[in-house]
Structure 1
Amino acid sequence: MKPDEIRKLDAYLKRTFSSADIKVKPLPKQAETAEVYVADEFVGTLTKDTDEGELSYHLTMTILDIDLE
């Protein structure tokens, strides 16, 4: 993802979840994917998708059962 996309996604997630601790980091070898962190903990991936000319981003977050205890 381009730096301006990363900045916009970072700002959107911080605003949406009311948390300044969220960080979006690009993956250099995967142009359409970025990682999402809360503080220093990895929480998920953002994937860019273009379907029928419409651009969207998908956030995938895995929650382990041990994290729920």
Structure 2
Amino acid sequence: MANISASEVTRLQTTLRRLLGSPNLTVNPPPRAGLSVELAVAGEVIGTIHRDEDEGEVSYAVHITVLEEDLPPAK
């Protein structure tokens, strides 16, 4: 897993807030090397962001986890 720089964290947060329409979204750098960057909304972690570099091109994969217990009741 490639490290994400502080500049990338800021740029990702700005872009994801715009794309997802949520000013409460934050991109949190890992507390120590080797851990994932976290994606949170209103302080609740909802997923992770991973950086990939292949042949000089950089991309970011966002993995969002939704727990069944957080879904509204079935009708």
Do the structures match in fold with TM over 0.5?
Answer: yes
Q: CA deviation at 1:30?
A: 2.2
5 Å matches for 1:1-69?
Answer: 1-27=4-30, 28-30=32-34, 33-69=36-72
Q: Give, as a single letter, the amino acid of the residue that structure 2 aligns with 1:52.
A: E
- The structure with the largest alpha-carbon Rg is 2
Which deviations, in whole Å up to 9, do the C-alpha atoms of 1:2-21 show, x marking residues without a partner?
11100000000111111110
**Which consecutive aligned stretches of 4+ in structure 1 deviate over 4 angstroms post-superposition?**
none
TM-score (norm 2): 0.82
Alignment partner of 1:42: what SS?
A: strand
TM-score (norm 1): 0.88
Q: Tell me, which stretches of 5 or more residues in structure 2 are unaligned?
A: none
Count matched residues: 68
Task: Please state which structure has a larger fraction of its residues in strand.
Answer: 1
Q: CA deviation at 1:66?
A: 1.2
The percent of aligned pairs where both chains have the same amino acid is 35
Q: Tell me, which stretches of 5 or more residues in structure 1 are unaligned?
A: none
